[in-house]
Amino acid sequence: MRIFIDGQQLPILVRVSHDLLTTLKTLSRSLSWGIFYDPTKEVVYINSKSSAIPVLPIERPADTSSDDPESVRLLNKSICIDAGHGGSDPGATGPTGTLEKDNNLAIALLLKEKLENNGAKVIMTRDSDRNVAYADASANEELGARVDIANDNQVDLFISIHNDAFTNANATGTTTYHYGDIESVRLSNCLQKKLIEHLGTKNRGCRYASFYVIRYTEMTAALIEAGFISNPEEEVLMASADGRMNAAQALFEGIMQYFRV
Ligand SMILES: [Zn+2]
């Protein structure tokens, strides 16, 4: 349901409910505001200037992208995306030289775009190939800087994107890590399910871990290991445009499912 006051649409999208309509009507009556509800369009029009029925807006042509419910599903949600490693820290390296930091950043940038297209506020720990704390920072300083960005911005969600690696090149699959709190477990389940669906990788499940970035972030947080860069097939998957796009789409859908929008 959309709400217009004096012809201006409020930047919120709420489910139609009898309670909400009653509240709006009672409120309007007590303030001598005019109110009109159009049930076919699920729009409430409010006139705060007088108790007269509000003047209804003239129908605009089809392309009103800002009115598209799709574009505001994540309005008022803030998400910090952490592309793991970067700059002087390449992360893991694949058999043919693919760098984890590049795969992580590519997925993170694609995810950012999808979230922003749906109204979310996105904070990136990095949006280029660089260290987050400062050039050549230590691993601990890097992790601390990422946590600080999420905490200082008081985001709703923190999602750290990584590729896995192991000495045995046969290891494959996708894992999502959480620090055990109920909301982070729920987020991890949403992300993991979608990643498996979209990537077609082996499901290594959601697991508890005490990784710094999910332990010290003060909000719901998850760290995903999208696939094993040390496995030749998954290295190709993580380095390919399709694989990266599928991973980003999966994370996007998982976030939408987590917020139940
Ligand atoms: Zn990593």
Q: What's the pLDDT score for residue 69?
A: 54
In this prediction the pTM is 0.75
The alpha carbon of 15 and the centre of ligand 1 are apart by a number of angstroms equal to 40
Q: What's the pLDDT score for residue 131?
A: 98
In the chain, which residue ranges form alpha helices assigned H by DSSP? 18-30, 100-117, 139-152, 182-199, 212-215, 232-239, 241-259
Q: What's the pLDDT score for residue 22?
A: 84
Burial of 33 (0-12, 13-18, 19+ CB in 10 A): buried
Calpha distance 164→207 (Å, rounded): 14
The neighbourhood of ligand 1, an ion, using CB within 5 A, equals 84, 91, 162
Q: Which two tokens stand for residue 84?
A: 């793991």
The alpha carbon of 88 and the centre of ligand 1 are apart by a number of angstroms equal to 13
The alpha carbon of 55 and the centre of ligand 1 are apart by a number of angstroms equal to 56
The alpha carbon of 34 and the centre of ligand 1 are apart by a number of angstroms equal to 57
Q: What's the pLDDT score for residue 65?
A: 45
- 185-219: pLDDT as tens digits: 999 999 999 999 999 999 999 999 999 999 999 99
The alpha carbon of 164 and the centre of ligand 1 are apart by a number of angstroms equal to 6
Pairing of the two strands 220-228 and 157-164: parallel
Pairing of the two strands 174-178 and 203-208: parallel
Calpha distance 252→234 (Å, rounded): 21
For the chain, 261 residues long, give each residue's pLDDT as a single digit of tens: 888 888 888 877 677 777 888 888 888 889 999 998 887 777 888 888 888 888 776 655 444 444 455 678 999 999 999 999 999 999 999 999 999 999 999 999 999 999 999 999 999 999 999 999 999 999 999 999 999 999 999 999 999 999 999 999 999 999 999 999 999 999 999 999 999 999 999 999 999 999 999 999 999 999 999 999 999 999 999 999 999 999 999 999 999 999 998
The alpha carbon of 211 and the centre of ligand 1 are apart by a number of angstroms equal to 11
Calpha distance 91→76 (Å, rounded): 33
The alpha carbon of 90 and the centre of ligand 1 are apart by a number of angstroms equal to 9
Contact 244, 110 (CB under 8 A): yes
What domains are defined for the chain? 2-65 (no CATH), 73-259 (3.40.630.40)
Cα–chain center distance at 228 = 23
Contact 86, 101 (CB under 8 A): yes
